[in-house]
Structure 1
Amino acid sequence: MEKVMNIIKPKPDPKQQLRDWQRRLRQECRNIERQIRDIQREEKNVQKAIKDAAKRNDIGSAKALAKEIVSSRRTVNRLYENKAQLNSISMHLGESVAIARTVGHLSKSSEVMKLVNNLMKAPEMAATMQEFNKEMTKAGVIEEFVNDAVDTALDTEDMEEEIEEEVDKVLTAIAGETAAELPDAVVRKERIKLPAQKAGPSREEEAIAEGVDDEEELEEIRARLAKVRS
């Protein structure tokens, strides 16, 4: 008899399940807020690096860093959307408490299912929401569904053009008038990349060769941004 009692586990209390999910959702929201703060804090360092690159007429580094800022800001916008959807799930779960008191079990919610499905497609939330999906499906809050991959990719050319416009805006906002002088530097650098016909390097080539450390700094900044975005 004792063995049978150990095998047959009592069903979890619906209200307790709801409270547990809401607590975990609040924790996920706090994690998102922390990630946003980390990204925005790192952006200040990148802005300084862009100004430094603009002062030394290094358009390559300045544009690469501006592109990182554009990418980071898009990540922040996506994180805010994730947070809003998590809060919405929590709200819908809260509304289920009254129903659970009446019927004694959690009822299905199409809104919660839709929100969970959306968040499972977000890279930052996929693993967490898969776990929620399993638990909520088992509890009868949502139905099991097939998460078909839908190709919603924008036209590549239009997206690249949009990103370039954002990069130019970032450069103008951060580097100001200095950025307007950068294209000339690009032409000079691109010419130097061609096979040299002379025996030794020019003074201009030597000056750019001294900027090797700038490339290392750029990679280091990219690595830090990638870390806070992940």
Structure 2
Amino acid sequence: METVKNLLRPKPNPQQQLREWQRRLRQECRNIERQIRDVQREEKNVQKAIKDAAKRNDMASAKSLAKEIVRSRRAVNRLYENKAQLNSVSMHLGELVATARTVGHLSKSAEVMKLVNNLMKAPEVAATMQEFSKEMTKAGVMEEMVNDAVDTALDSEDIEEEIEEEVDKVLAAIAGETVSQLPDAVRKEKMKQPSVSTAVEEREAVAEGAEDEDLDEIRERLARVRS
């Protein structure tokens, strides 16, 4: 029955299609903003846990917590990039409608195709952008894309090395004063000997790859490591 209704429903004109796409793009942007707030809210709790761990001279736990903050901040940066690209898609669609008033239909856009293709590789919006791709291809805005996604993730060892450098900066910013008050020998020994659970988490993180974690997993990891 629903299929029959869809067949009988009048085909939307370019302006109507644009408004619907832009509405959904705005919704995706709001979803991203909510995810960012959730992660940043949890990060505040983790920062407090880092300070508490440093006061207990438990630098292994402090370092593990700092690593989760580094990962969460990277995830938030990716979300901001996704949001900027969604806004760019909406802007370019607006330009296409101006042209459509003259030619009577939506024209192809290489820029929209490029942006949508990039967003289809982002876990947080991939499913939605796949739907957009189908609709925009049908409307003539995009050509049908072949899945030629290239894995641009860095080698996991390189990622871990970068994260280790950022972890030291996070520890210095959050608990630098407390850490500096520890005897030098104690501080070095604590930093060299992570707990068994921390070592397991670090091995799992290398296997998973820092760039591939989605936001739900980031939040769960932050909450779990804090507890």
- Higher Rg: 1
Cα distance in 1 for partners of 2:5, 2:174 equals: 68
1:7 & 1:48 partners in 2: Cα distance?
A: 57
Bigger relative contact order, structure 1 or 2 (CA pairs below 8 A, ≥6 apart): 2
Residues 4-54 of structure 1 deviation map (CA, whole Å, 9 limit, x = unaligned): 999565322111000110111111111111111111111110000000011
Q: SS state of the match for residue 108, structure 1? A: coil
Residue equivalent to 2:80:
80
2:52 paired residue number: 52
The answer to whether residue 190 in structure 2 is matched with residue 185 in structure 1 is: yes
Identical aligned residues as a percent: 80
**How many residues in Structure 1 have an aligned counterpart in Structure 2?**
194
Is the 2:50–2:65 contact (alpha carbons within 8 Å) kept by the matching residues of 1? Answer: yes
Alignment partner of 2:131: what SS?
A: helix
The residue matched to 1:176 in structure 2 has which SS?
helix
Q: Which blocks of at least 5 consecutive residues in structure 2 are unaligned?
A: 196-217
**CA deviation digits over 1:103-140, x for unaligned, max 9?**
11111111000000000001111111001111111111
The CA deviation at 1:102 is 1.1
Superposed CA RMSD in Å reads: 2.5
> Does the 8 A contact of 1:120 with 1:126 survive in 2?
yes
Residues 1:23 and 2:23 aligned together: yes
- 1:139 matched to 2:149? The reply is no
Deviation at 1:186, TM superposition (A): 4.9
- Counterpart of 2:188, as a letter, is P
Q: Is the 8 A contact 1:68 1:222 kept in 2?
A: no
Q: Distance in 1 between matches of 2:72 and 2:132?
A: 27
The residue that corresponds to 1:216 in the other structure is: none
- Does the 8 Å contact 2:46/2:222 carry over to 1? no
Q: Which residue of the partner structure matches residue 35 of structure 2?
A: 35
- Which range is displaced more, 30-39 or 85-94? 30-39
Amino acid at match of 1:169: K
Q: 1:138 to 1:82 in 2, by over 3 A?
A: same
Q: Which residue of 2 aligns with 1:223?
A: 220
